[in-house]
Amino acid sequence: MIVVMRAGASDQDLAHVIEKIEALGYRAHVMYGVERKVIGCLGDERGKAQLQSLELLRGVENVVPILSPYKLAGCQLKPEPSIVTVSSECAIGGRSFAVIAGPCAVESEEQILQTARAVAAAGANALRGGAFKPRSSTYSFQGLGEEGLRLLRLAKEETGLAIVTEIMDRYVLDQVIESADILQVGARNMQNFPLLNALGSAGKPVLLKRGMSATIEELLLSAEYILAAGNPDVILCERGIRTFETATRNTLDLNAIPALKARTHLPVLVDPSHGTGVWSYVAPMAKAALACGADGIIVEVHPRPEEALSDGAQSLKLDKFAALMNEMKPIAEAVGRNLGRRNAECVRA
Ligand code: PEP
Ligand code: MN
């Protein structure tokens, strides 16, 4: 249920209503709008009738049910879009179209530094790179682990780029938090509920990728775990789903962008690298993502894709990435988005 406060309700009125909500066994989640405050009552839906009686309290306008099953991720409690501020050079949401670029996996000092310098020069907002890699085969390269995190810190020190790296399990959370500005939850972990709960208190934004067989509703229900556990900074990511099609690695579901925008205030990114699996399809789909309303892209870039230890076939060379940044400029202008480091949204933040 949502308790909508009157426009002129006092702080005491609000405090009193929160007290009553908590006394009924619910968690009160206050949203501060421009004109008025609303309070989400989180808990067992069976107590709806009791909550309705809060309508009698001073300062309360009305009490209405939250219709969607993802109460914090949905638009009813928070209609205006959320902007996740990562650094003065990286804001995700609003007018900003954020570009996160880098290799699938951190492989060596030379590889990550060379990539970081190039993507920074081309205008990327953040550097991606996996230190812990979820691989289908146990015999494949699993990532450099802690050494990979050290190399990411080095790249950040030199370029100032925010770091995006994957967190595979909650037992290494403390270690990854120290090196990451955004914690990436991979497709395979979208429904790892103990991990999602742990990320509630991570104190860093979470980039939640859609599972390869997950519906849009399931993605939002997973985001809800992180939000309900206390972390408001969740960024969603469409990265392609499994279909009968074999010409591409996955089917990049761009329908998901307007469908998510209609259901949630959370920013939405697109991953055209995993979404296609083919480097030459990446730029067209990145541009499509920008045109259809995504808040940014996360794209794989490697100085020598033919030598990459993972996902070389879908990685852009450094010059191809720079070309893509240029090709996106007129599209960004046409759809009213800011592209590049230190864009208006970041500087305001
Ligand atoms: C990745 O970003 O390298 C990755 C493993 O992505 P996904 O979880 O979407 O497969
Ligand atoms: Mn990859």
Residue 208 belongs to some domain of the structure? yes
Instruction: Work out the average pLDDT over 19-27.
Output: 94
Q: Which ligand is nearest to the CA of 166?
A: 1
Q: Which residue's C-alpha comes closest to atom 9 of ligand 1?
A: 187
Q: Is the same domain home to 134 and 58? A: no
Residue 170 belongs to some domain of the structure? yes
Q: Which residue's C-alpha comes closest to atom 1 of ligand 1?
A: 104
Atom of ligand 1 nearest to the CA of 310: 3
Q: Which of 324, 295, 348, 299 is CA-nearest to residue 81?
A: 295
Residue 77 belongs to some domain of the structure? no
pLDDT above 80 for 349: no
Q: Which residue's C-alpha comes closest to atom 4 of ligand 1?
A: 186
Give me ligand 2 centre to Cα 324, in Å. 19
Q: Is the same domain home to 15 and 135? A: no
Q: Is the same domain home to 328 and 229? A: yes
Residue 76 belongs to some domain of the structure? no
Q: Which residue's C-alpha comes closest to atom 3 of ligand 1?
A: 104
Q: Ligand 1, from 144, 209, 212, 238: best to mutate by most atoms within 8 Å of Cβ? A: 209
Atom of ligand 1 nearest to the CA of 185: 8
- Report how many domains make up the chain: 2
Instruction: Work out the average pLDDT over 10-19.
Output: 96
**Mean pLDDT, the chain, integer:** 95
CATH number, domain with residue 55:
3.30.70.1140
Other CB atoms within 10 Å distance of the CB of residue 216 = 19
Q: Which of 63-67, 207-211, 331-335 shows the lowest per-residue confidence on average (mean pLDDT)?
A: 63-67
How sure is the predictor about 345, in pLDDT bands with cuts at 50, 70 and 90? low
**Model confidence pLDDT, tens digit, residues 42-98:** 988 777 888 999 999 999 999 999 889 999 999 998 989 999 999 888 899 999 999
CATH number, domain with residue 127:
3.20.20.70
How sure is the predictor about 342, in pLDDT bands with cuts at 50, 70 and 90? low
Residue 204 belongs to some domain of the structure? yes
Q: Is the same domain home to 29 and 113? A: no
Residue 14 belongs to some domain of the structure? yes
User: Would you state the pLDDT for residue 232?
Assistant: 96
User: Would you state the pLDDT for residue 322?
Assistant: 98
Give me ligand 2 centre to Cα 293, in Å. 23
Q: Is the same domain home to 53 and 126? A: no
Collapsing DSSP states into helix, strand and coil, what is residue 64?
A: strand
Q: Is the same domain home to 174 and 309? A: yes
**8 Å CB contact between 302 and 312:** yes
Residue 59: give the domain boundaries.
2-64
Q: Is the same domain home to 338 and 270? A: yes
Q: What is the dihedral angle through the alpha carbons of 128, 150, 133, 251, rounded to the nearest 10 degrees?
A: 0
pLDDT above 70 for 107: yes
**Model confidence pLDDT, tens digit, residues 244-282:** 999 999 999 999 999 999 999 999 999 999 999 999 999
Q: Is the same domain home to 232 and 322? A: yes
Q: Is the same domain home to 39 and 99? A: no
User: Would you state the pLDDT for residue 45?
Assistant: 76
Pocket of ligand 1 (CB under 6 A): 104, 130, 134, 186-188, 209, 239, 271, 274
User: Would you state the pLDDT for residue 50?
Assistant: 87
Residue 253 belongs to some domain of the structure? yes
User: Would you state the pLDDT for residue 46?
Assistant: 79
Give me ligand 1 centre to Cα 269, in Å. 13
Atom of ligand 1 nearest to the CA of 189: 8
Q: Which residue's C-alpha comes closest to atom 10 of ligand 1?
A: 187
Residue 79 belongs to some domain of the structure? no
Q: Which two tokens stand for residue 133?
A: 């890699």
**Model confidence pLDDT, tens digit, residues 313-322:** 999 999 999 9
The more confident residue out of 165 and 49 is 165
Q: Is the same domain home to 91 and 126? A: yes
- The residues facing 145 across adjacent strands are none
Q: What is the pTM of this model?
A: 0.94
User: Would you state the pLDDT for residue 153?
Assistant: 98
Angle formed at CA 160 by CA 155 and CA 163, multiple of 5 degrees:
60
Q: Is the same domain home to 151 and 264? A: yes
Q: Is the same domain home to 45 and 178? A: no
